[in-house]
Chain A
Amino acid sequence: MTIESHASGDTERPESPVGEERRGSASRVAASLLRRSDFSVVLATIVLFVIFALGSASFFTEYNLFNMGRTSALYVFVALGQAIVVVIGGMNLSLGAIGGLAVVIAGTAMQDAGISPLVALPLALLVGAATGLFNGLIITKLKLNSFVATLATSFIFAGLVTGISKGSPYTNIPDITFIGSGDIFGIPILFVLMVVTLAVVAYFFRYAVTGRRILATGGNAEAARLSGIRTDRIVMLANVLSGVFAALAGFLWITRVGSAQPSTGSDWLIISFAVAIIGGTSLAGGEISALGLGAAAVMLTLIKNGLVMFNVNIYFEQTFLGIVILLAVSLESLRAIGRRRSRSPRHARGAEGGTGK
């Protein structure tokens, strides 16, 4: 509302210089907010949070908030695995299979080889990095589209998961649920890890040279190459990081449930894309938002939690889920309208290689 009234510029009486300055400052803040790709998802998350808090007495309990916090955290790690390749204009369809493979390798190491979780974690991350590198090599050396390449490797990795585990979970492993169930001053450890990771991601894309190169490659790969960036290496790096995030998400899931489940990752594909894209990662590449990723993960968790809280009809649950997501992401169109109205020559930006927030 404030945005629209400001954007109309419809003033009926003269303003004092101080008032004009305040209005000018407010309009700059509003315009700045509207420019952010993550603005709408953050707003939608806040709105949903308020609605659910008012609508269900059980929503605002410590137990529920704790659980939502750690579920959101796992969503973020899954989504980071996708966002890091989407931002270079690619995708990783093998994300879930990589997560599953990392879990199975960690489970085998801990249960069958008696290896400590302190060793199993880096081992799992190594599996993620190796599989990501494999993807990256196929994409860059064979010049295959990331869709085709990772579709093929998803079968390879999924086959390894079932081949190694035979579908059975690893339950005789050391108890590491203190990570998945633990808290720091009442905040889930997983949520704290998520915040720290997102902060690092935000810094990386805003200030680190490699981060800017990733964005530049995603924004315009040819221009990036001509400006001296070794884009093939960037693509490989993004795929390695994607694998590492998938492996990390898998390992954190072990800490959440106390066993290594081979089915881990089987439903990550939709989650990873949903959180990444709703969170402001541009499908065309070159744009990512750490804040948006966090907000989108919380939003999806809120919606799923809300459906149970409000005891919706189980037969139509998926329909409700789709409607609420659609309504939430529709705020993006409001942002676009507001942005058009508030755009002025001094706010207009030139073409950029990409943005990281």
Chain B
Amino acid sequence: MKNSRVLSLIAATGILFSACSSAATPAPATQAAATAAPATSAPASQAAASAPGSVAASASAFGCTAPAGFAPVWYASAAHPYFETVKPGVEAAGKEFGFTPVEQIGPDWTQDSENQGLEALFAKGSRYFSVYPSDASGANALYKELTSKGATIINFGASTQQPTTASLVFATDVKAAAEQATEALIAQMGDKGNIINVLEVLTDPNTVLRKQGVEEVVAKHPNVKIIQEISGMASQQDAVQKVTDAIAANSNTVDGIIATGFTPTVAIAQVMTDYKVKGGTRTIHSVGIDTDPTVVKAISDGVMDGTIAQNPFGHGYLPMLALMCMADGYKVQQGVYAVDTGTAFVTKANLTTYADDISKVTQKIKDSMLTSILTK
């Protein structure tokens, strides 16, 4: 009886996989080439036209084209709002230059899952990858293995630790962004007062850089002091609880609160909104990073002072262009690796216009792609 149930389960699983495989399989190279729209007629990034960082389609003016069968992989670690804002850039590049990217989102934020996903795609024939490294150090072993077998990998969003076999990284300069956010917060505080520094996950090398950025800026301002650091915020619940606790612990002394990671920034938006609702009277300035709708609303409502907007469209769009050109015979210029995709400080005053500033950065990088980043 038990055996028959197990067999039924196995059979059902097989049917399920068969049913799903057609949807999960990327378009074959020939099909991708056949359906590729001519660069001039492709309505390029219409869908993403309003996305921060998006640029006007101009495939004909660009110096390289997608080779036949070019189907680069875009690999995101897990379902996350950030990746949803990167994806339009990937798709816009595909439409503009007539190729079909293979989009893959991992099941969880672990290097193990990423290894399995990328290895499977490599086995299926993919050779060009735009990857968000789940583990800045752990991804290097995978990269080394794949590049030694002929793969080309570009990081987006975050860099792998040096030395790395990734060709390029298109990302925010996280330390510079943290410095920018801290300067903005201190300016709001009138160059004096006490700050709570909210860090995300200490095992992330980017968090270390962000921490350094905040501390170095604070050190330049003698009347500003970090009174508490909190961290370990892998989930939204954790972040909300810790930010709430930190405000309670410093309710009579805190003047500013800064977050340089996505999760704690959303938590600050929620906690500060709640703080106002509960009748909190102390003026606590707050600055975060990323433009989650909760954060944007908090800025719009005057609950938060501002946030650092990154360029997620560029994180998706620019690596695709670089991979396409590398498939077309270009290589990375000597000494070039990190490309800063730019940031903008968003306040209530520029909530509706900051996207234009980011778009200009994307366009500038695109324009200089074949002169400053790649070479024949």
Residues of A bordering B, CB below 8 Å: 56, 58, 61, 63-64, 66-67, 71, 74, 142-143, 155, 158-159, 162, 165-169, 171-172, 177, 180-181, 253, 256-259, 261-264, 266-267, 304-305, 308-309, 311, 314-315, 317-318
Shortest Cβ gap from A252 to chain B (Å): 12
Instruction: For the complex, give the distance between the alpha carbons of A172 and B274 in Å.
Output: 17
Chain A binder among B77-85, B216-224, B310-318, B351-359: B77-85
Contacts of A257 in B (CB 8 A): 236, 240, 270
Contacts of A261 in B (CB 8 A): 236
Interface-located stretch among B121-129, B166-174, B291-299 = B291-299
Report B-chain residues with C-beta under 8 Å of the C-beta of A253: 237
Mark B residues whose CB is within 8 Å of A. 2, 5, 9, 78-81, 83-84, 105, 107, 199, 202, 228-232, 234-238, 240-242, 244-252, 266, 270, 273-274, 277-278, 280, 292-294, 297
A171 with B294: CB separation less than 8 A: yes
From known contacts A64-B248, A167-B83, A169-B292, infer whether A317 and B237 are also in contact, taking CB-CB under 8 Å: no
Q: In the bound complex, how far is the Cα of B54 from the Cα of A275, in angstroms?
A: 48
B199 cross-chain contacts in A, Cβ below 8 A = 314
Complex Cα–Cα for A67 and B240 (A)? 10
Note all chain B residues with C-beta closer than 8 A to A317: 231-232
Contact B270 A267 (CB under 8 A): no
User: In chain B, what residue has the closest Cβ to A170?
Assistant: B293
Q: Name which of A256, A263, A267 has the most chain B CB atoms within 10 A of its CB.
A: A263
Of A61, A180, A314, which one neighbours B229 at CB under 8 angstroms?
A314
Q: Which B residues are in CB contact (< 8 Å) with A177?
A: 274, 277
Residues of B within 8 A of A56 (CB): 249
A sample of 29 cross-chain residue pairs with beta-carbon separation below 8 angstroms, ordered by A number, consists of A61-B251, A63-B248, A63-B251, A67-B241, A67-B245, A71-B241, A71-B244, A143-B5, A165-B79, A167-B78, A168-B81, A169-B293, A171-B297, A180-B274, A181-B274, A181-B277, A181-B278, A258-B270, A258-B273, A263-B235, A264-B237, A266-B235, A267-B235, A308-B242, A308-B246, A309-B248, A314-B232, A317-B231, A317-B232
**With A and B bound together, what is the CA distance between A258 and B12 in angstroms?**
40
- Closest-by-CB residue of B relative to A306 is B245
**Are the CB atoms of A263 and B236 closer together than 8 Å?**
yes
Query: Which residues of A lie under 8 Å from residue B251 when comparing CB positions?
Result: 58, 61, 63-64
- State how many angstroms separate the Cβ of A156 from the closest Cβ of chain B: 11
Question: In the bound complex, do residue A311 and residue B249 qualify as a contact, i.e. CB atoms below 8 Å apart?
Answer: yes
With contacts A63-B248, A264-B236 known, is A162 near B274, CB below 8 A? no
Q: Are B250 and A58 in contact (CB under 8 A)?
A: yes
Contacts of B244 in A (CB 8 A): 67, 71
Q: Choose one: B228, B232, B293; the contact of A171 (CB below 8 Å).
A: B293
Given contacts A63-B248, A67-B248, contact A166 B79 (CB under 8 A): yes
Complex CA gap A135/B234 in Å reads: 27
Count of CB-CB pairs between chains A and B under 8 Å:
112
Complex Cα distance A181/B270, Å?
11
CA–CA, A318 and B179, complex, Å: 28
Q: Are B245 and A305 in contact (CB under 8 A)?
A: yes
Cβ-closest chain A residue relative to B248: A64
Closest chain A residue, CB of each to CB of B244: A67
Query: Given that A257-B240, A267-B237 are contacting pairs, would A262 and B274 also be in contact in the complex, using a CB cutoff of 8 Å?
Result: no
Q: Write the chain B residue with the least CB distance to A78.
A: B237
Q: How far does the alpha carbon of A317 sit from the alpha carbon of B173 in the complex, in Å?
A: 28
Known interface pairs A166-B84, A167-B80, A314-B202; A64-B245 also in contact (CB < 8 Å) = yes
A63→B280 contact, CB < 8 A: yes
B150 to chain A, nearest CB (A): 32
CA–CA, A315 to B81, complex, Å?
28
Chain B hits for A259, CB < 8 A: 270, 293-294
The answer on a CB contact under 8 Å between B294 and A309 is no
Residue contact A63 to B278, C-beta cutoff 8 Å = yes
**A279-B105 Cα distance, complex, nearest whole Å:** 39
Question: What 4 pairs between A and B have smallest CB-CB spacing?
Answer: A167-B79, A162-B79, A64-B248, A308-B245
Complex CA gap A63/B244 in Å reads 9
Residues of B within 8 A of A158 (CB): 107
Given contact pairs A58-B251, A305-B248, A308-B249, enumerate 5 new A-B contacts (beta carbons under 8 Å): A64-B245, A155-B107, A267-B235, A308-B242, A317-B231
Chain A residues with Cβ below 8 Å from B297 are 171
Given A168-B84, A177-B277, A317-B231: A262 in contact with B249 (beta carbons within 8 A): no
CA distance A167 to B253 in the complex (A): 36
A169 touching B245 by the CB < 8 A rule? Answer: no
Please measure, in the bound complex, the distance between the C-alpha atom of A181 and the C-alpha atom of B248, giving whole angstroms.
15
Nearest CB of A to B195, in Å: 14
Q: Are B249's CB and A58's CB within 8 A?
A: yes
